[in-house]
């Protein structure tokens, strides 16, 4: 659970830096423009949404993480009811992936 808090913290940091996009249309558009480095999809989003973004991310070679509930992800970026978030900052994206894959030690 500790890792999720770190990931949510990094998502919040990206949001404050205005380096996130959210919502299906916006995230899909930014992926196609190659501006998204990692996509985070809520575990409780629809199966159709998850499948759609798995295919898009695979096609454009963007890592996808399915993690957290919609409410938790939304709160991390200060919005409500956002099931999909795209991170547009490369270093934060790498750090999120590293933590998600279980390999991070800062400090």
Residue 70's domain spans which residues?
Answer: 2-100
- Return the CATH number at 9: 3.30.1330.30
| 53 in a structural domain | yes
Q: Tell me the CA distances in angstroms from 79 to 2, 8, 51, one per residue in order.
A: 22, 13, 23
Q: What is the pLDDT of residue 2?
A: 60
| 106 in a structural domain | no
| Interval 46-105: pLDDT, tens | 999 999 999 999 999 999 999 899 999 999 999 999 999 999 999 999 999 999 988 655
pLDDT surpassing 80 at residue 3: no
| 87 in a structural domain | yes
Q: Tell me the CA distances in angstroms from 94 to 45, 46, 52, 80, 81, one per residue in order.
A: 23, 26, 23, 25, 25
């Amino acid at each position: 659970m500790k890792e999720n808090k770190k990931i949510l913290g990094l998502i919040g940091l990206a949001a404050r830096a205005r380096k996130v996009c959210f919502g299906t249309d916006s995230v899909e558009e930014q992926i196609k423009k190659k501006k998204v480095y990692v996509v985070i999809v809520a575990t409780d989003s629809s199966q159709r949404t998850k499948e759609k973004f798995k295919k898009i991310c695979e096609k454009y070679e963007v890592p996808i993480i399915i993690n957290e509930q919609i409410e938790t992800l939304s709160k991390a970026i200060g919005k409500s009811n956002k099931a999909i978030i795209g991170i547009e900052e490369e270093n934060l994206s790498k750090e999120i992936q590293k933590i998600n894959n279980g390999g991070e030690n800062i400090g």
